[in-house]
């Protein structure tokens, strides 16, 4: 069993006694992670989304489509990989690389894009104008969300969702 350092009582003659916190749960406390130099390390997750990577038959063309969807700068034409930076601090970057083989028969994941309540239909229309295909709408499956499913020009599914105000 591990006991967090703040739960221990110091009882050496040279140290001032330390009272343990009444909130200490000795059964679930974990030892601090330490660097090779003996310093504690913050183990709080620091993960953020760096970029969404997409294998593509036409990386430059698909990057231009997604630049229009997300409001990013249109990348210069390229025959190889294309990096699309985030459109702003709340956005995300995308990386488009050449497909290295057959297209998978099933898509393992997709993007869920969120728009303000009441703007989904207009955004879907705008994105279809950029080259997407509107596949279907789900408007009454869950009270907290309505969404439309679309395909990008290469057939990758994604959703445009809106959540009602709280």
Judge whether 133 lies within some domain: yes
pLDDT at 34 (0 to 100): 72
Any domain includes 78: yes
Q: From the first residue on, what is the mean pLDDT of each consecutive set of 10 residues in the chain (166 residues)?
A: 35 39 49 72 76 91 94 80 90 91 81 94 97 96 94 95 92
**What is the reported pLDDT for 4?**
37
Does one domain contain both 111 and 90? no
C-alpha dist (Å) from residue 90 to 48, 50, 111, 163: 11, 12, 15, 17
- C-beta separation of 33 from 55 below 8 A: no
Do 76 and 55 fall within a single domain? Answer: yes
Cα-Cα-Cα-Cα torsion 54, 59, 60, 64, nearest 10 degrees, comes to -30
CATH number at residue 136: 3.10.180.10
Total structural domains within the chain: 2
pLDDT at 103: 80
How far is the C-alpha of 5 from the C-alpha of 31, rounded, in Å?
A: 7
Which residue range forms the structural domain that includes residue 67? 50-100
Residues 83 and 55 reside in one and the same domain: yes
Residue 16 in any domain: the answer is no
Whether 163 and 120 map to the same domain: the answer is yes
| Per-residue confidence (pLDDT) for residue 13, from 0 to 100 | 40
User: Does residue 70 lie in a domain region?
Assistant: yes
Are residues 130 and 79 both part of a single domain?
Answer: no
In a domain, 123, yes or no: yes
Residue 31 has what pLDDT? 62
Residue 12 lies in a domain: no
Spatial CB neighbours of 26, under 8 Å, sequence gap ≥ 6:
1, 3, 7
Q: Is residue 4 part of a domain?
A: no
Q: Is residue 72 in some structural domain?
A: yes
- In this predicted structure, what is the pLDDT of residue 131? 97
Whether residue 118 sits in one domain with residue 91: no
Together in a domain, 119 and 142: yes
85 and 114 co-located in one domain: no
Sign of the alpha-carbon dihedral angle for 43, 49, 55, 58: negative
């Amino acid at each position: 069993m591990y006991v967090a350092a703040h739960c221990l009582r110091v009882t050496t003659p040279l140290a001032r006694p330390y009272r343990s916190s009444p909130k200490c749960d000795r059964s679930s406390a974990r030892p601090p992670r330490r660097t090779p130099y003996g310093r504690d390390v913050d183990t709080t997750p620091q993960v953020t989304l760096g970029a969404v990577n997409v294998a593509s038959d036409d990386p430059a063309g698909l990057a231009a489509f997604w630049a229009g969807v997300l409001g990013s700068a249109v990348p210069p034409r390229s025959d190889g990989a294309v990096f699309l930076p985030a459109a702003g601090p709340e956005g995300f970057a995308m990386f488009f690389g050449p497909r290295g083989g057959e297209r998978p028969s099933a898509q393992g994941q997709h993007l869920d894009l969120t728009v303000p309540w009441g703007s989904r239909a207009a955004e879907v229309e705008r994105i279809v104008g950029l080259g997407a295909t509107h596949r279907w709408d789900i408007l009454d499956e869950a009270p907290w969300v309505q969404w439309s499913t679309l395909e990008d020009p290469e057939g990758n599914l994604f959703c445009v969702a809106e959540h009602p105000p709280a």
